[in-house]
Structure 1
Amino acid sequence: MSLAELSAAELAALAEDLTARYAELKSAGLKLDLTRGKPSAEQLDLSNDLLTLPGTGQTTSASGTDVRNYGGLEGLPEIRQIFGELLGIPTEQLVAADNSSLSVMHDSLAFALLHGRPGGTPWAGQPHKILCPTPGYDRHFHLAQELGFELVPVDLGTDGPDLQTIKRLVAADEAIKGIWVVPTYANPNGAVYSEAVTRELVSMPTAAADFTILWDNAYAVHHLTDDEIAAVDVLGLAAEAGNPDRVFVYASTSKITFAGAGVSFFGGSQAIVGWYLGHLAKRTIGPDKVNHLRHALYLKDADGVRALMRNHRAIIAPKFEAVEKILAERLGAYGVATWTEPHGGYFISLDVVDGTATEVVRLAKEAGIALTPAGSAYPYGKDPADRNIRIAPTFPPLDQVEAAMDGVATCVLLAAVRKQLDGS
């Protein structure tokens, strides 16, 4: 029975029960954290062989490069080949960099701001806006804001963003220079961009000739089910549409091997890759090729990555199942929340009663449960409906995930009941 169907007496009784339950929760002295999508120590342990070059202590790549020395700006071919297959990108159109794809995003946007894209003018000398499918990745939004972009929200559905709104905006406004995209298991709602949606994005007319799709395939191989969705060939589709230079592709091994010591990637057309490397050469002499070789020797090939990710899945899938089970059992009957049941990625997107997300996060914090701030998945941290909360279940042990989510469910119900009482 939903809250709206309860009588005043039933609602008051439920409020009394939840208040008592919340008092018990606070007295338990919990210290639980569901804030960031980090791999657990158990997941990191899967790749401990990376702490030495697997096997022989090899220091020379297959091409004869001494990885201890300068050079090789584009990264080792071995690691580029492995991830080129996984991402659907030819090796020559993929650059392997250092540990953080966020750094690569920063560099590519900074290069466009300072120098313009190939054949274009610097973005910094003109108004520049960026489309932000929401709910979305807060670090994307913070980075763009830091670089002076105006953030323009557009709604994100299960198979991509609101195309009608996007087409209208990009056709009318030359200042819109790009759009953030997390195409596979998007952060936080698990959306998977369909090929049809991708075709529309790469082919649609835009007022800005240098409009750019910032294609962050962060979760390309992070599956939670047997249905291992293959990466869309976005560069091939863009070339077919006559816009080969429209896409910047990003990815990394951050949630595959070591989150703080992985390999990041940048991909694009040959013209875009040449442009990127030309500017990158002024910033660095080359990436950490020792780490590239270490990863190539450890992972061996694309199938090695797939096998490793199935071991990750065995660790984290039960945590996602626990979140979904507890939310269904505690909240399902009351009609106070909806949540995603993703097939991959690192997050569950929880929508609570409008106007209560901030209160839910506050209640949880006072009970010792840390959640990502309400609104963090929206540009400028402002969810106009104050309903979305991102749940990150991967880092804590399973028993802590269960305890935290039971507490979160109590907070969601309590906030909803109080709002209902205030409005009645």
Structure 2
Amino acid sequence: MTNSRSPLASLSDDDLAAFLAEQRSAYAALEARSLKLDLTRGKPSSAQLDLSNDLLHLPTTTKDRAGVDVRNYGGLEGLAELRDIFAELLWVEASQVVAGGNSSLTMMYTTVVDFLLFGGVDSPRPWSQEPAVKFVCPVPGYDRHFSMLAELGIEMVTVDMHDDGPDMAAVEALVKDDPSVKGIWIVPTYANPTGAVVSQEVAARLAAMPTAAPDFTIFWDNAYAFHHLTEDEAKSADILTLAAASGNPNRPIMFASTSKITFAGAGVAVLAASQATVAWYLKHLSMASIGPDKVNHLRHVEFFRDADGVRAHMRKHREIIAPKFAAVDEALTAGLAGLEVATWSHPTGGYFVNLDVLDGTASRVVELAKAAGIALTPAGASFPHGQDPRDRNIRLAPTFPTLEDVRTAMAGVATCVALAAAESLTAGRASGVGAGGEGATAGAAAEQTEGAR
């Protein structure tokens, strides 16, 4: 889309004042609509949940393929048929898969706690006995990963997330000489929130890099592996094979679930790792469980039948949510193109759009949106402790609202972004300090181009 608007930072004082007045008028009209729209979390819509309603009538039997009654205790590793499906989807062996309850986040939390209490397969001692424990956290990233580490007292060290994965030079420097750096969070496919896909090269470097900690662990959260928005489907790197080939078979632990595939609150989650790590995980799990919900496992097996059934089901999801992502781009382009005050991602999968606004204005954008009845994820949520040092990042979650509500909300967000930028630039000129606060300049705004990433 072409746009004749000039970069906001290049406007004369009079033209900037006129633009600010125009945006204040547009914002007043937005407030007058008394909207109540929510783009805070990446939840599936009711239309997506309806795709799985047949689960409510399943399973049609009470026994698995071996004739074992799934209603009873046992089978800590999960139903074999379900593990087979996920083994094919995740490019691993069935013996490397554990099928659990409905939440992969629970499996992640349990795994980190087990490392703290007992140490992992390659740990010289429990992590809780180490002088310090640190994790590398690519940013922007997944807020629940960060809040989990914060609760457990684990220090977070950030590196930039690029289009092909984390900044590997920074990662390798952090892990090489510091034995307290014990892990890294990676969302490898359609990362939350940027939509980045970890390349084969980056995955290979993660698998093979020298680490000072013998038990350095890659927490490979493949939450969006099957959530494609286009026919060009990204393929997740085979991290388990790469790590084994590099002599570090126990380094990665993979997680995935059907939380955004079937029922968000009643799906199935899996862990995949080396057979040694699987045995370690099951050993400690056996003290807390006598087996997962195998009835739900069988229900999902009957519903999907096989891995191709999962893929076909996800194409139905794509038909529902892809137009919503297109609507986000259309609204941001219509409202902000040419102003050079924001960039946003064009994800080909996943659940989010990453929006970077003028430095120092993200909190103001969220505040303005809230006052106008549009709930957004808090500014900085994609950074440890919710602290974005540049106050520019906002995660957009367009899947839950209706398509029309997405259009309405994003047009409103564009107005809030433009208004906040105009306010900041105006205040910066009045004070003699560039927009965005100390050290920032209007020229920094002009460096941003819409739609980048």
For normalisation by structure 1, the TM-score amounts to 0.99
Alignment partner, residue 192 of structure 1: 197
Residues 19-62 of structure 1 show CA distances to partners (whole Å, capped at 9, x for unaligned) of 111011111110000000000000000000001215xx211011
Q: Distance in 1 between matches of 2:148 and 2:29?
A: 40
Equivalents in 1 of 2:155, 2:324: separation in Å? 37
Q: Distance in 2 between matches of 1:119 and 1:416?
A: 50
Counterparts of 1:77-116 in structure 2, within 5 Å, are 77-116=80-119
Please show how residues 197-276 of structure 1 align to structure 2 within 5 Å.
197-276=202-281
Q: Secondary structure at the match of 1:65?
A: coil
The residue identity in structure 2 corresponding to 1:70 is Y
| Aligned partner (choices 389, 403, 412) of residue 408 of structure 2 | 403
Paired residue for 2:63? 60
Rounded Cα–Cα distance in structure 1 between residues aligned with 2:79 and 2:33: 52
Output aligned runs, 1:355-366, within 5 Å.
355-366=360-371
Question: What number of residue pairs does the alignment pair up?
Answer: 422
Tell me if structure 2 keeps the 8 A contact 1:118–1:272.
Answer: yes
Q: Does 1:33 align with 2:38?
A: yes
Contact residue 132 and residue 180 of structure 1 kept, 8 A:
yes
How many angstroms apart in 2 are the aligned matches of 1:377 and 1:135?
5
Q: What secondary structure is seen at the aligned counterpart in 1 of 2:338?
A: helix
Shift of 1:5: 1.6
The answer to whether the 8 Å contact 1:86/1:231 transfers is: no
Moved more, 124-133 or 37-46: 124-133
Distance of 2:86 and 2:234 partners within structure 1: 15
**Deviations along 1:235-285, whole A, 9 cap, x unmatched?**
000000000000111000000000000000011000000000000000100
Give the partner amino acid of 2:337. G
Secondary structure of residue in 2 paired with 1:305? helix
SS at match of 1:320: helix
User: In structure 1, what is the Cα distance between the partners aligned to 2:147 and 2:392?
Assistant: 20
Distance (Å, rounded) in 2 between the aligned partners of 1:89 and 1:45:
30
Instruction: Quote the Cα distance in structure 1 between the aligned partners of 2:88 and 2:356.
Output: 36
Q: CA RMSD in A?
A: 0.7
Q: In structure 2, give the amino acid aligned to 1:93.
A: Q
**2:78 matches 1:75:** yes
One-letter code of the match for 1:110? V
Residue 91 of structure 2 aligns to which amino acid in structure 1?
A: G
* SS of residue matched to 2:49: helix
Does structure 2 retain, via aligned residues, the 8 Å contact 1:88–1:232?
no
CA distance in 1, matches of 2:33, 2:145: 36
CA distance in 1, matches of 2:279, 2:152: 23
- Match runs of 1:144-163 below 5 Å: 144-163=149-168
- CA displacement at 1:145 relative to structure 2: 1.2
Task: Report deviation, 1:231.
Answer: 2.3
CA contact (8 A) 1:118 1:271 kept: yes
Find the residue that maps to 1:333 and give its secondary structure: coil
Instruction: List aligned pairs for 1:335-354, cutoff 5 A.
Output: 335-354=340-359
Give the alignment partner of residue 316 of structure 2, picking from 281, 287, 311: 311
For 1:94 and 1:189, the matched residues in 2 are separated by 28
Q: Relative to structure 2, which stretch is displaced further, 4-13 or 280-289?
A: 4-13
Is the counterpart of residue 125 in structure 1 residue 129 in structure 2? yes
Report the equivalent of 1:370: 375
CA distance in structure 2 between the partners assigned to 1:216 and 1:63 by the alignment? 31
Q: What code does the residue aligned with 1:22 have?
A: Y
Give unpaired runs (5+ residues) of structure 1.
none
State the one-letter code of the partner of 1:180: W
Distance in 1 of aligned mates of 2:11 and 2:169: 40
Give the Cα separation in 1 of the matches to 2:128 and 2:311: 41
How far apart are residue 119 of structure 1 and its match?
Answer: 4.3
- Equivalent residue number for residue 21 of structure 2: 16
User: What is the alpha-carbon distance in structure 2 between the residues aligned to residue 98 and residue 170 of structure 1?
Assistant: 33
SS at match of 1:9: helix
Q: Deviation at 1:118?
A: 1.5
Partner SS, residue 337 of structure 2:
helix
Q: Once structures 1 and 2 are overlaid, which stretch shifts more, 388-397 or 111-120?
A: 111-120
1:228 CA drift (Å)? 1.2
What is the CA-CA distance between 1:63 and the residue it aligns to?
A: 1.6
| In 2: Cα distance, 1:30 partner to 1:382 partner | 28
Matches of 1:53 and 1:399, distance apart in 2: 34
Instruction: Tell me the distance in 2 between the aligned counterparts of 1:401 and 1:231.
Output: 29
The answer to whether the Cα contact below 8 Å between 2:198 and 2:236 also exists between their aligned partners in 1 is: no
1: CA distance, partners of 2:80 / 2:324: 36
Unmatched segments (≥5 aa) in structure 2: 1-5, 430-453
Instruction: Spell out, residue by residue over 1:374-397, the C-alpha distance to the aligned partner (whole angstroms, 9 max, x if none).
Output: 000001100000000000000000
Is the Cα contact below 8 Å between 2:141 and 2:193 reproduced in 1? yes
The correspondence for 2:327, drawn from 319, 322, 345, is 322
Find 1:422's aligned residue among 427, 430, 451: 427
